Structure 1
């Protein structure tokens, strides 16, 4: 029987998935090639528009949350420009080139803290919540 992950552990995993998507967005046109046009827009949206992130109660720091929401606005603006972009049209529009620098900056911000454990609750990356509670 497997144990259900805690809400904190889920939030840590979501932050790690957002980091992985930032890597795709940072790859500019190659990122679009990796996941396709729908993936480019929807992968990020699937993880960002969560009540915990919008309320500021996720594993994201205040600065990480701000930059992630900024990139979400970039993606929304790109999508509104032409909701029916083909992959080639999207790449030609230079939206990936405008989004990539923001994604690179966000990725660097995430790496300052590091990535969270996928298996153990942590207060901060590398700092177990159980160890901190025992102090």
Structure 2
């Protein structure tokens, strides 16, 4: 059985770069510049600060959100990924077989537990951790090739095993709501109109 990190390196997907505080500072869709971190995980090492966004000059002022606002946004993105996983087999078809894995692992490590659960309660963090453990087992499954098809992933049964656990985590997070994307909040301020 290969480790989840080995599986990730073999698939076409994304690597994430985090700064010293664990905040995601870059995502890449190529593994051409692979580096090993001190804990042995693979990361892409191309700098992001020098690359302007489309339609933006390198010298333009960019938003500098607070750590809290970043945490709120990351929690919202995690909710979106958990929602996709809660769809079971149809979620694999909607996102594509490789993206079904990689979009989730943009926010979580391929092995072990994350350093933080942004803007989550302890109960939410535990529920999301249950989803993480299943996804780590699924990505390490040797029955899934390095370039899987939707049918191949569906046949393993992982999407339908993960779906009820993801649905439970999503319902818990939705009961609390989504945070604002533009202002800091201690608790979500409004009703959840999504998904």
**Shorter-chain TM-score: which interval?**
0.7 to 0.9
The match for 1:10 is: 70
Alignment coverage as a number of residue pairs: 124
How far apart are 1:76 and its partner, in Å? 1.1
Structure 2 match to 1:86: 149
More helix by share: 1
Whether the 8 Å CA contact 2:178–2:188 is kept in 1: the answer is: yes
- Measured after TM superposition, the shift of residue 113 of structure 1 is 0.8
Secondary structure, in 3 states, of the residue corresponding to 1:48?
Answer: coil
Residues 65-104 of structure 1: matches in 2 within 5 Å?
65-82=125-142, 83-84=144-145, 85-104=148-167
Scaled by the length of structure 2, the TM-score of the pair is: 0.59
User: Aligned equivalents of 1:57 and 1:102: distance in 2?
Assistant: 17
TM-score (norm 1): 0.83
5 Å-filtered alignment, 1:11-30, equals: 11-30=71-90
CA drift of 1:57 comes to 6.0
C-alpha contact (below 8 Å) 2:117/2:125 kept by paired residues: no
Structure 1 runs (4+) deviating above 4 angstroms are: none
RMSD: 1.8
Q: Which runs of 5 or more residues in structure 2 are unaligned?
A: 1-60, 191-195
Contact 2:179 2:188 in 1 (8 A): yes
* Distance change >3 Å, CA 92–CA 116, structure 1 → 2: same
**Greater relative contact order structure (CA < 8 Å, 6+ sep):** 1
How far residue 2 of structure 1 moved from its aligned partner, in angstroms, is 4.4
